[in-house]
Structure 1
Amino acid sequence: MKTSTAPASGGVYRYYVLVMLMLTFMFNIADRLVMSILIEDIKAEFVLSDTQIGLLAGTAFTFFYLILGVPAGRLADRTNRKTMVAVSLALWSLMSALCGAALGFWTLLLARLGVGVGEAGGGPPSASIITDYFAPHELSRAMGIFAAGAVLGPVLGYAAGGLIAETYGWRWTFVILGLPGILLGILLYYTVREPRRGRFYRQKTKAAVADKQEPFLVTMRSLWANSVFVRVVIANSFTNMPAYAFAIWLAPMLIRNFDVSQGDIGLYLGAMLFFGGVPGMILGGYLADFLARKNPRWRPWYCALAVLLTMPFWTLCLLSTSLEVTLALYLCGYILLVSTQGAAISMVQAAVMPTERGTASSISSLSITLLGYGIGPALIGLMSDNWAGAYGSLSLNYAVIATVVVSLSLATVLFLWTGKAVNQEPSPALAPA
């Protein structure tokens, strides 16, 4: 295992590392969400219900992710993180490609389980590495660039997935989009250097233990007692629940309601996510950093405001009878929602000790995944099936609307609550440099 240590500040190389980890995140999301553009084809070939599709698109992925997420985070806090990211990326990419060989519901379910096994080890070490390459005053913008992978992933899954599916079918779509991740994993392993852990941790009284991992129960008690961490994790989980609902169900809703092709829907959604999501992620991170220089509470306050403004856009877009209006309203809400992610991720990472970062990131990812993938898709599919008799093809729209209103209302309140914790317990790692 390579253990070389890179400088943790300054220079262009850290941005190369950031881009590599952002691309890793991109494939992470693309492999999760490529099924969205393929739902109607898979549903027709295997004769599946919306409930079964929800299980395949979300619950199957989350099963091992939830089991392995925290152990993976613990491992990230004590081992070579870039090696862990590279191996995880290659594993989930291989399992995603194997989805194309599925013979029915159960074999596809098993392959999706495998995707979750690999992806459990990707996020926690990536966030931890970035925190050791970028100083606290620039961490939100760095995390915003990293989180842009969550935008580029659906772009790849929708735009490329839709075109590939129309030309070669849904099976080859999984294969063609899965295999490049293996090559990226190899490149990452040989070109990314492991930074010194805890480089920017400022709490001098604990500097001596910045590189020593505490026992699991001690770490969990520390995180549970950390008000900023707990509140941000819960708030961001409810923020992402409707985001994943749209990521999985928007394409089939548009196909059902407006009778457009996979290729067209893929291009529409891909273009919107790229031109709206990438600037939203990056500019949101810069804005949060700028506001936080005046008052650190502006990080959660900004998140609360953006989440609240997202709700009417996403509710109205699902009630529109025009494809153009639906897409425009969705885009406005999407830009607002994704602009919160740089600030949210940076608050999680900066609020905890260096040897807790991987564990903290895994718990955050686990919570988001549980709501966004484990519960959300299957629950929405169940509501859609139950309401189909009364609302027809609009039953899926109403199921997603219910998720949007409840989740984003809770997220707004929770981010405001987080602001009180930041005021009472300002994190030294979040202080301006």
Structure 2
Amino acid sequence: MPAQILDNNSTVKSVLQIMNAEPSSSPNNHSQQHLMNDGTGRSSPITSKQKITVVVLCFVNLINYMDRYTIAGILKNIQIEFNIGDDKGGLLQTAFVISYMICAPVFGYLGDRYNRKLLMAFGVFLWSLTTFVGSYMNDYYLFLFFRSLVGVGEASYSTIAPTIISDMFVKDLRSKMLALFYFAIPVGSGLGYIIGSGTARILGTWHWGLRVTPLLGMLAVLMILVFMEEPERGQCEGFSHLTTTSWSEDIMLLTRNQSFMLSTAGFTCVAFVTGSLAWWGPNIMWQGLKMQKGYENVEPNSVALNFGIIAMAAGLIGVPLGSYLSQRLKVRYPKADPLICAGGLLISAPLLFLGLALADKCYYPVLVLIFIGQIALNLNWSIVADILLYVVSPNRRSTAEAFQILISHSFGDAGSPYLIGVLQ
């Protein structure tokens, strides 16, 4: 692993020690409060404050992705309301992703230098407020504008939250906590479909589907401010006073980090697939199902509900499975992480293709294909995040998260929902 780190500045020695999990003699390293090796292979217990912090971060990540995909569960209703086609329907997600990826570097810079609790609380408050206000808009372009503002708020949380975990835990325990954190992505996405379509069906209007997560978001703001811990950067690794460098130097060093750049390139392909699949998957399944005998009058909300259940179940299996394989295989094969990610993608590609291509021929086999394909796809989430954290120095991890968000969304899911909508 140390050979993969190319940050060539004054912190190289510290980072190399971090990668080797060497015990530090730093007086600022409170080994009784943080889980790290003590030189005998034993670990100090996790504090209650750390447990609460992880719970808060996972809860916010859950509602973050619920909010992001609630619209996908009610997309057909929105298209009918505003009388728009698939191109403008896809533009709703593209506008969100564009603002999300543009603002990510800003929050990455701030996250490496200022109070992360306050930055995250501000972001969650902003996306909750704009989602709620947007649900009252009766004009498509106003609705599109508020949807883009949601991306500004979400950029702050997604960029900073993983670095909090990286500053509290090391090695296998960090991998487990990241798996728990990213576990919320497919589960939250699935709940987004369920809440959006279910609320629209029960209350008779799609608008209320967008008013559930803002209420949970306001609760999350209070939880962040009151209960969450703000660890020092690099403290669990024994280097809590690393010197920050300029933003331009951070970017230069990151671009020279081969492991980081290659994992970012691979994750960009994953973002392209997941973005288009999450946005248009239920719609394609619904259009195909309508062509089958006996399903002519099937409701789009019903298909979106089933798709959400599949996505959530696939996340329940796929994310922890990826983390488990990583922890088991790295004992004998230190470079197993990228191979697990590549294997998952090679398995998922034909399964997802067949699942969508056969949507007009059968129903239940399609559900099985998409379910298994998403399990394989979900192997990536926690592993890619872990790769970033162990190949990047603690004092520029927020910037690295932001850079990865910018690249993966710019060439991934920023354009794929709109592109697929235009092609349809």
Q: TM-score range by the shorter chain?
A: 0.7 to 0.9
Q: What's 1:51 paired with? A: 87
Measure, in 1, the Cα distance between the counterparts of 2:87 and 2:33.
Answer: 49
The letter of the residue matching 1:115 is V
How far residue 167 of structure 1 moved from its aligned partner, in angstroms, is 2.1
Measure, in 2, the Cα distance between the counterparts of 1:317 and 1:311.
Answer: 10
Alignment length (residue pairs)? 374
Q: What's 1:114 paired with? A: 149
The letter of the residue matching 2:355 is C
1:360-375 alignment, distance < 5 Å: 360-375=400-415
Listed one character per residue, the Cα deviations across residues 69-88 of structure 1 (whole Å, up to 9, x for unaligned) are 11100111111212222221
Q: 1:8 aligns with which of 34, 38, 61?
A: 34
How far residue 262 of structure 1 moved from its aligned partner, in angstroms, is 4.2
The letter of the residue matching 1:242 is V
Q: What's 1:136 paired with? A: 171
1:35-74 alignment, distance < 5 Å: 35-56=71-92, 58-74=93-109
Contact 2:69–2:189 at 8 Å: present in 1 too? yes
Contact 1:163–1:266 at 8 Å: present in 2 too? no
TM-score scaled by length of structure 2 = 0.84
TM-score scaled by length of structure 1 = 0.82
Residues 261, 372 of structure 1: alpha-carbon distance in 2 compared, 3 angstrom cutoff: farther
Percentage of pairs with the same residue: 26
1:150-165 alignment, distance < 5 Å: 150-165=185-200
1:27-426 alignment, distance < 5 Å: 27-56=63-92, 58-168=93-203, 169-201=205-237, 207=239, 211-259=242-290, 260-320=298-358, 321-384=361-424
Measure, in 2, the Cα distance between the counterparts of 1:178 and 1:326.
Answer: 33
The letter of the residue matching 1:253 is I
Larger Rg: 2
Measure, in 2, the Cα distance between the counterparts of 1:89 and 1:65.
Answer: 13
The letter of the residue matching 2:212 is I
How far residue 263 of structure 1 moved from its aligned partner, in angstroms, is 4.3
Measure, in 1, the Cα distance between the counterparts of 2:412 and 2:133.
Answer: 24
Measure, in 2, the Cα distance between the counterparts of 1:197 and 1:146.
Answer: 19
Listed one character per residue, the Cα deviations across residues 260-294 of structure 1 (whole Å, up to 9, x for unaligned) are 32443243223222222122111211211221122
Residue ranges of structure 1 left out of the alignment (5+ in a row): 385-433
Measure, in 2, the Cα distance between the counterparts of 1:125 and 1:309.
Answer: 31
Contact 2:107–2:159 at 8 Å: present in 1 too? yes
Listed one character per residue, the Cα deviations across residues 130-176 of structure 1 (whole Å, up to 9, x for unaligned) are 10121123322221111111112212211121110112211111112
Local SS of the residue matching 2:234: coil
Measure, in 2, the Cα distance between the counterparts of 1:368 and 1:181.
Answer: 26
Local SS of the residue matching 2:66: helix
How far residue 48 of structure 1 moved from its aligned partner, in angstroms, is 0.6
Local SS of the residue matching 1:121: helix
Listed one character per residue, the Cα deviations across residues 291-329 of structure 1 (whole Å, up to 9, x for unaligned) are 112222100011111110111110110122212111110
